Amino acid sequence: MPETAGQTFIHTPTPGLPEFDYIKPASLTAASQFLAEHAGEARPFMGGTDVFVRMRDGFWTEKYIVNVKGLDGMNDVTFDPTTGLTIGASVNMNRLIASLEVKEHYPLLAEAAHTVASYQLRTRATLVGNICNASPAGDTIGACMVLDGTLHIHGVDGMRKEPLSTFFVGPGQTVLKPGDIATAITFPIPPAGYAAKYIKLGRNAIGDLAIVGVTALGFPDRGAPSGYRVRLALASVAPIPLVPTQAEAILAEKPITEATINEAAQAAMDASTPIDDVRGSARYRKLMVKNLTRRAVTQVWEQIRE
């Protein structure tokens, strides 16, 4: 039997990176144009924490790696008390975590970023890269979603905005087209009186991918029958970062009690469609969605009530 017929063939990564051309365009326009002209064989890169690993492992085989760091203000963190926060695409996570504005107004971003990999990797890893990588396990994606983040995209037709709610298509897949470069993410001023929490369940204390991640952000809202709204996002339990809308609706509609929180947690569990893999079983993941949603919502609720 030739080995290619073997069902048990093991993937053996090569010791080094495959050959590629490194492109450093002078402007966003040039970058978008190059990426569009080489669709399928060029990839933009920021910190490279996913790009180089996936290339070394043989999963990505692009001929061109296009460095888009440092183009047109992509390395800035700015905060405006009326319009909110802008984080440039090449701002690394350690800078994000250290930013005083982030700490004061968006501590959830820092909390979520802090659970990504290790300090060393966070000197390269970026928030926008974490989003564009579109892993269902992405630790910061939930925070960006509940904080109502909007991606700013430069494409061959110029700048446009993409809301995160419709950004993800499948594991590793987004609505981005060849030539698109995410330049920044912006966040509006968070709702008054809000509190938020990211609970990550990993196999060990630090550095792991999430078996399950639950992000919750709650705030008082007179327009909601319960007087509150709670935004939720779930990691690693569906092909894309999942918003359990039914659970959110329950928390908006019914007076928030332990029973309501349990009902919402159950709804979150019912909405999730995890798979079995080496990190955990689907069964355990579903059970953890329930328990950790309950825990996250309870903690948020305790902070926002009265």
Partner 1 sequence: MVSKEMASVKIPDLIGKSVPRLDARDKVTGAARFADDLQFGPGLLYARIKRSPFPHAIIKSIDISKAQALPGVKAVVTGKDFPGFIGLYLLDRHIFCRDRVRYVGDPVAGVAAVSEEIAEKAVELIQVDYEVLEPVLDPEFGASPDAPLVHPDLSEYEVVPFILPRAGTNISNHFKIRKGDADGVWNSGQCAAVVERKYRVPHVQHVPIEPHVAIAQVNEGGTVTLWGSSQSPFAQRNLIAKTLGISQSDMRVIAPYVGGGFGSKAGVSMEALAVAIAMKTKGRPVKLRLTREEEFYTVFVRQGLVAYFKMGCDENGRLLAMENKFYWDGGAYTEYGVNMTRAAGYSSSGPYEVPHVKTDSYCVYTNHPVSGPMRGFGMPEMHAGLEQCIDDLAEAIGIDPAEFRKINCLKTDSILVTGSKMHATGLPQCVQEVIRAIDWGRKEPPSAPHKRRGKGIALMWKAPAMPPNAGSSAWVELNEDATVTLGVGGQEIGQGTFTAMAQMAAAALGVPYDWVRVAAPVDTQYSPYEWQTVASRLTWSMGNAVVNAARDARRQVIELVAEAWDEDPEDLDIVAGEVISYKSEESISLKDIVVYGLPKPNDSGWMGGPVVGRGTFMPTYVTGLDPETGQGERAVVHYTTGAQAVEVEVDMQTGAVEVLRAVAAFDVGKAINPELVKSQMEGGFVQGLSTALFESLQLKDGVLQNPSFVDYRIATSSDAPADIHAIIVEVPQDDGPWGARGIGEHSMVPTIPAIANAIYDAIGVRPGPPPFTAEKVYLAMLDAAIAE
Does residue 120 interact with partner 1 by CB under 8 A? Answer: no
Show Cβ contacts of residue 159 under 8 Å, excluding neighbours closer than 6 positions.
152, 153, 183
Q: What are phi and psi of 231, to 5 degrees?
A: -95, 140
Give the shortest CB-6-to-partner 1 separation in angstroms.
Answer: 5
- Closest Cα to residue 44, out of 142, 60, 58? 60
* Residue 116 CB coordination number (10 Å): 23
Size, binding site for partner 1 by CB under 8 A: 33
Give the shortest CB-291-to-partner 1 separation in angstroms.
Answer: 4
Residue range at the interface with partner 1 (CB under 8 A); choices 66-74, 101-109, 138-146, 287-295: 287-295
Q: Which of 185, 251, 252, 292 binds partner 1 (CB under 8 A)?
A: 292
Residue indicated by tokens 């494409």: 155
Give the shortest CB-25-to-partner 1 separation in angstroms.
Answer: 27
Binding string, 196-235, against partner 1, x = CB under 8 A?
-----x-xxxxxxx-x------------------------
Does residue 279 interact with partner 1 by CB under 8 A? Answer: yes
Q: What are phi and psi of 183, to 5 degrees?
A: -100, -25
Residue range at the interface with partner 1 (CB under 8 A); choices 121-129, 141-149, 181-189, 277-285: 277-285
Residue range at the interface with partner 1 (CB under 8 A); choices 148-156, 167-175, 182-190, 272-280: 272-280
Binding string, 18-57, against partner 1, x = CB under 8 A?
-x--------------------------------------
Contact 216, 231 (CB under 8 A): yes
Binding string, 164-203, against partner 1, x = CB under 8 A?
-------------------------------------x-x
Kindly state the tokens that stand for 58: 């043989």
Kindly state the tokens that stand for 128: 């926008």
Q: Which is nearer to partner 1, 100 or 205 (CB)?
A: 205
Does residue 278 interact with partner 1 by CB under 8 A? Answer: yes
Q: What are phi and psi of 67, to 5 degrees?
A: -75, 115
SS3 42: strand
DSSP-assigned states of every residue in 164-231: GGGTEEETTEES--TT-EEEEEEEPPPPTT-EEEEEEE-SSSSSPPPSEEEEEEEEE-TTSTTSEEEE
Q: Which of 16, 40, 81, 223 binds partner 1 (CB under 8 A)?
A: 16
Show Cβ contacts of residue 222 under 8 Å, excluding neighbours closer than 6 positions.
none
How far is CA 64 from each of CA 24, 58, 119, 180, 191, rounded to the nearest angstrom?
A: 10, 15, 28, 15, 42
Q: Which is nearer to partner 1, 90 or 215 (CB)?
A: 215
Q: Which of 268, 288, 289, 297 binds partner 1 (CB under 8 A)?
A: 288
- Per CB under 8 A, residues contacting partner 1 are 1-3, 6, 8-10, 12-16, 19, 201, 203-209, 211, 278-281, 283-284, 287-288, 291-292, 295
